[in-house]
Structure 1
């Protein structure tokens, strides 16, 4: 019987050895604090690079929008290669001209205003990309810490289950417990050993999810737990001035500027022309001047103007929606933080210590023959549940803080 009950101990020892090897490899990894993770993400993330490139593209379009049209040079020969006196080039007339299209109706001004509005919107979008990345890094880092805590909890639970299985087998051999109790302890030990393997995989996956944010999925890191972050003060979070509302407001300004631009685009331009004409037959020359302008009979750009007005209406609706969502996000974040703080306080100061005390008493009483194995297993299960909830409460607080930091970002 002794050899049968020693098997789970051997299995658990192998599992803990594998987990210890993983811990050793992490110990050799580079320590990474939350601040360092935020810095690496902001400097290396492809998302930030793409958003920054969008700003540069908008700035290039704005520079282009402020330029006037280039002049055009022309050269034209007439009255040659015909019949009679026009059969040779001697009777030809050669004209060299320079023409310039003059943009009327404020085209260049409205085009530049619209392009500059797009630059402002792109810059806010760049700031939003960085703020979103910061929030995601905070959440991923907190999730990785939570996965690491769950791994430690699983290892400690497995170690307790192994010890309890040994004690149970000893008591069975001594005739103080029925064999069914040892089988129950053996099953609990094997289940705890399997939980260690699952927790190890979850911890590794959480770290990979973190380092992927700056494009290094194969990097090995060691998390460094820092002090608890403080919540942003409520007075600094104005729902009407969050990044999302400012982005919607900038999009609305862009849409309104596009209306003016398209209205101006429907007004006809004037092209002036000046040049010199040379008469080959006499060798004389003369100046020519002229202008051309389109006649806006059917195409006055009215369709594009109507589309721009519809886009502005949609932008107004999105601004109202962004404001409503911003108010909800701030209020929900504050409520979630209050709830997480309250839950964390109760778990950390009362529930977990009480559950630990119950396990110690039950374990001591079981070894002294005062409590049954079932009472010890129930107490250990309650402790594991309480510590799991404590880890979840810390994670929820970190997520609420990240959401509030995102709402307060400027």
Structure 2
């Protein structure tokens, strides 16, 4: 597995910018990252995707990385929760556009009094319908605020998906690495068992003292103990991967490659976090407009029918009412909304700086891990393998001691372990880079 990363850090107006090209694939023909279309600043158009019911049932017997990503996206409780939040925001948007309900009132006057107003002889009954008018733009401001919040929830769903994809890639890499370590531990046990058998033969033949056989058996016991630890780690890695799907039983098996990423350019201004900060700022501005509209005076008009019992006549009545801003002018909510805008602008600046630093660190980690993998694959592992082969032959021919053989075995194991760790570090750094580039 090869990964080629190149970075160019450019100062941009209003914040820092970092770009990187990353390639996973054939080491003989690396390609340069292709540009990614920059997303427009601010919230996206409030289009609500349909809510999908989480998938249930058993997982496939063997999971590739692509299958793991698809299963996680269809099953993860985190995605279900984010989709529910988005559906709630969509419902609030629909509700915000609803006009206020009319009021039905019924009044009875001039009854149970004194003199001419005794009893019900002079009763006057009025049935009226009253409707508050939206002349101050409250409804439109309310709808705009709800739509801005819907855009925020859309980006939060996108971030939840991107975070989940990164977690799946990282945990899948850990599961594959744990499987590789288990295979190496099993190989070490078989080799240690062979060494112990040869050592016993040499001791029985009088070529080596009994201490050498004891040392070989001790090395075998240690290798078996390490294999048991590797088995437990491999099971834990598969269980942790299944937990990302919301499944209790561990994944039966993982297979395939560590990575599936394609080349991309990283633009801090177009990252999900900065776009979310833009959407939150737009939502804060919409809330300010809503609070400003709340202090405007909206009259209510009414029309009804009045019946005078004494004469039996009917007549129309009409009226207008207007709230008086004597005590509540909504100043506190307006000030709070303005403070919310300032906070959103500060969060945007923080998001740009954090994303730029995060991308720079991820690029450096990818490059360092790639160099380490290249060095181990090209030199260290082949040399350690050849040294172990020659030492095994020399030991069988009596030209090398058991201690020399165990030293060669330990060096070979340490080099293989270092290569496995370097590949895992490369996979984790690449997953981090892919998360930053997510759109």
Q: Quote the Cα distance in structure 2 between the aligned partners of 1:293 and 1:98.
A: 16
Partner of 2:155: 124
| Worse-superposed segment, 266-275 or 190-199 | 266-275
Match of 2:82 among 24, 40, 51: 51
**What SS does the aligned partner of 1:222 have?**
coil
Q: Quote the Cα distance in structure 1 between the aligned partners of 2:225 and 2:420.
A: 20
Q: Quote the Cα distance in structure 2 between the aligned partners of 1:379 and 1:47.
A: 48
Partner of 1:309: 338
**What SS does the aligned partner of 2:121 have?**
helix
Q: Quote the Cα distance in structure 2 between the aligned partners of 1:219 and 1:389.
A: 27
* 1:340 and 2:353 aligned: no
Task: Write the deviation string for residues 225-258 of structure 1: whole angstroms up to 9, x where unpaired.
Answer: 237645523xx32111011110111011101111
Q: CA deviation at 1:172?
A: 1.8
Q: Quote the Cα distance in structure 1 between the aligned partners of 2:315 and 2:261.
A: 83
Q: CA deviation at 1:405?
A: 1.6
Q: CA deviation at 1:164?
A: 0.9
1:128-207 to 2 correspondences below 5 Å? 128-207=159-238
Structure 1 unmatched runs, 5+: 1-28
Q: Quote the Cα distance in structure 2 between the aligned partners of 1:216 and 1:352.
A: 38
Task: Write the deviation string for residues 207-230 of structure 1: whole angstroms up to 9, x where unpaired.
Answer: 011111111221542211237645
The TM-score with structure 1 as length reference comes to: 0.90
Q: Quote the Cα distance in structure 2 between the aligned partners of 1:34 and 1:229.
A: 7
Task: Write the deviation string for residues 92-122 of structure 1: whole angstroms up to 9, x where unpaired.
Answer: 0001111111133221111111111011111
Task: Write the deviation string for residues 26-47 of structure 1: whole angstroms up to 9, x where unpaired.
Answer: xxx8121111111111111111
Q: Quote the Cα distance in structure 1 between the aligned partners of 2:190 and 2:170.
A: 30
Higher helix content, 1 or 2: 1
Q: Quote the Cα distance in structure 1 between the aligned partners of 2:403 and 2:338.
A: 73
Q: Quote the Cα distance in structure 2 between the aligned partners of 1:403 and 1:80.
A: 79
In the alignment, is the contact (CA less than 8 A) between 1:274 and 1:290 conserved in 2?
yes
Going from structure 1 to structure 2, the CA distance change for 1:367 and 1:71 (only over 3 Å counts) comes to same
In the alignment, is the contact (CA less than 8 A) between 1:31 and 1:224 conserved in 2?
yes
* 1:63 and 2:85 aligned: no
Q: Quote the Cα distance in structure 2 between the aligned partners of 1:407 and 1:228.
A: 15
* 1:259 and 2:288 aligned: yes
Partner of 1:215: 246
Partner of 1:271: 300
Q: CA deviation at 1:331?
A: 1.5
**What SS does the aligned partner of 2:253 have?**
strand
Q: Quote the Cα distance in structure 1 between the aligned partners of 2:268 and 2:409.
A: 46
**What SS does the aligned partner of 1:191 have?**
helix
Q: CA deviation at 1:174?
A: 2.0
**What SS does the aligned partner of 1:31 have?**
coil
Match of 2:422 among 390, 393, 398: 393
Task: Write the deviation string for residues 69-99 of structure 1: whole angstroms up to 9, x where unpaired.
Answer: 1111111111112233322212100011111
In the alignment, is the contact (CA less than 8 A) between 2:65 and 2:258 conserved in 1?
no
In the alignment, is the contact (CA less than 8 A) between 1:362 and 1:376 conserved in 2?
yes
Partner of 2:412: 383
* 1:102 and 2:133 aligned: yes
1:341-356 to 2 correspondences below 5 Å? 341-356=370-385
1:26-45 to 2 correspondences below 5 Å? 30-45=61-76
Q: CA deviation at 1:173?
A: 2.1
Q: Quote the Cα distance in structure 2 between the aligned partners of 1:248 and 1:381.
A: 52
Task: Write the deviation string for residues 281-324 of structure 1: whole angstroms up to 9, x where unpaired.
Answer: 01122222221112112211111111111121111111111111
Q: Quote the Cα distance in structure 2 between the aligned partners of 1:274 and 1:154.
A: 88
In the alignment, is the contact (CA less than 8 A) between 1:232 and 1:405 conserved in 2?
no
In the alignment, is the contact (CA less than 8 A) between 1:209 and 1:217 conserved in 2?
no
In the alignment, is the contact (CA less than 8 A) between 1:114 and 1:258 conserved in 2?
yes
* 1:298 and 2:327 aligned: yes
The TM-score with structure 2 as length reference comes to: 0.84
Q: CA deviation at 1:348?
A: 1.2
Partner of 1:14: none
* 1:76 and 2:107 aligned: yes
- Over aligned residues, Cα RMSD in angstroms? 1.5
